[in-house]
A and B are shown apart, each in its own frame.
Chain A
Amino acid sequence: MAATAPFRVGMKEIYLPNFNIVLTRTPSQPPTSATFLTPLWFSKLDLRDYLYHAYDIRIGPSIRSYVQQSAIRQGQVKDPARPQYKRWHRPRATKRITVELERPFVWPKMPEDLGEWKPVENKMAGVEQQGMQERMGGASDAFAVEEGRRRGMREQARALLEGREKWRPGGK
């Protein structure tokens, strides 16, 4: 295929590539353009050759690249186990290359029904997990006992005082 390429093919021979090229959704751009996230060392010519040889995509003469610096974040690593205060790092920058396509391409539409991805359950689980972390965390004594549990304890105490139930060591 290299001999039939309509442009001068590069000389970097990569047999086993271990990087990802990600196509990003850019609704504000016309259908004749596509934006990719690439490694930082990738050049415009690299992307042209990659798209031509791996995906059979021919691109027009216009190609733009842009390196976006990341904002600084707390912690030394990407996802620390516990928050690391007073430690800051800047995640690696991302490179975006926008190419002009010879044939227009429109992204598929957003699915109408997101029920397959269970957004309601996801939100409930998030709320439950946050409550659990607050109850189990270091500030657990600052939070009052949950309302339902409090009511149950009151009922249990009243039953013991009135003699309806009898306390036995080790539970029932």
Chain B
Amino acid sequence: MLPEMLLELRPNLDYAAVVVLFCIGLYAVIVKNNLIKKLLGLNIMETAVFAFIVTSGMVEGGAPPVLGPGVMPPLASPLPHALILTGIVVALATTALALALIIRIYLQHGTIEADQLRELD
């Protein structure tokens, strides 16, 4: 079953890299104790999703979707790019809010280590 899957995966190796990146981020979110490191893990996961969707918009030998003299089809799909631009901005907003919350937690409790915070309750 596994070799068959690998054979089918060969044209989609770019996506496999995305899966690895996603798992690295999830590992950091689960295992790391420091809240800032968890946040970095979340950002790595977000990056994986962005890379996945942008990769899906690519086309073999395609030009960027900016029209002008000398730009010939095929063009990459503009829709994933626009979606991911939105996604990146939202990721920025969540990261900023999470950092503000982490600062608040530090001011309140003097620590941002998850296990120490759990003991406080």
A and B interact: no
Instruction: Please report A residues at the B interface, Cβ cutoff 8 Å.
Output: none
